Chains A and B, each alone.
Chain A
Amino acid sequence: MCLAIPGKVVEIRGHMAKVDFKGILRLVDISMLEDVRIGDYVVVHVGFAISKLDEKEAKETLKLWDEILRGI
Chain B
Amino acid sequence: MADILAKKFRDKEKIASLVKYIKKISEGKKYTFMHVCGTHEQTIARFNLRAILPSNVKLIAGPGCPVCITPAKDIDTAIKLAEKNKVLTYGDMLRVPGTRDSLFTAKAKGADVGIVYSIKDAKKIAEKTDKNVVFFSPGFETTACTVATEVLKGLPENMFILSSLRLIPPIMELLLGIGDVRFEGYIAPGHVSAVIGYGAYEYIAKAYHMPIVVAGFEPLDILLAVALLIRQIKKGDAKVENEYSRVVTKEGNTKAKRAMEEAFYVASDIWRGIGRVPFSALKLRNEEVDAEKVFKIKIEKSIDIKPNCSCHLVIIGKISPFECKMFAKACTPENPYGACMVSSEGTCYIAYMNYANEK
Binding site for B on A (CB under 8 A): 1-4, 6-8, 22, 29, 31-34, 41, 43, 45-48, 50-55, 57-58, 60-62, 64-65, 68-69
Does B146 sit at the interface, judged by CB under 8 A?
Answer: yes
Instruction: Give the residue name and chain of the B residue nearest to A20 (CB).
Output: B2
Cβ contacts B347-358/A at 8 Å (1 or 0 each) = 000000000000
- Interchain CB contact (< 8 A) of A55 among B120, B194, B246: B246
Does B53 touch A at the CB level, under 8 Å?
no
Known: A1-B66, A29-B120, A43-B191. 19 other contacts (CB 8 A): A1-B90, A1-B92, A1-B93, A1-B345, A2-B345, A29-B149, A32-B256, A34-B255, A41-B2, A45-B143, A45-B146, A46-B118, A48-B145, A51-B247, A54-B246, A57-B246, A61-B246, A64-B243, A65-B224
What residues of chain B have their CB less than 8 Å away from a CB belonging to chain A?
Answer: 1-3, 5, 8-9, 14, 17-18, 21, 38-39, 65-67, 90-93, 117-121, 138-140, 142-143, 145-146, 149, 191, 194-195, 216, 220-221, 224, 227-228, 231, 243-248, 253, 255-256, 259, 343-345
**Quick one: which of A43, A46, A54 contacts B143, CB cutoff 8 A?**
A46
The answer to whether B118 and A2 have CB atoms under 8 Å apart is no
Question: A residues within 8 A CB of B39?
Answer: 2-4
Q: Contacts A1-B143, A46-B119; is A68 near B18 (CB within 8 Å)? A: yes
* A18→B119 CA distance, assembly (Å): 18
- 28 residue pairs A–B, Cβ–Cβ below 8 Å: A1-B92, A2-B66, A2-B67, A2-B142, A4-B191, A32-B256, A45-B146, A46-B118, A47-B120, A47-B121, A48-B118, A48-B149, A50-B191, A51-B191, A53-B246, A54-B245, A54-B246, A55-B5, A57-B247, A60-B245, A61-B244, A65-B220, A65-B224, A68-B224, A68-B227, A68-B228, A69-B18, A69-B21
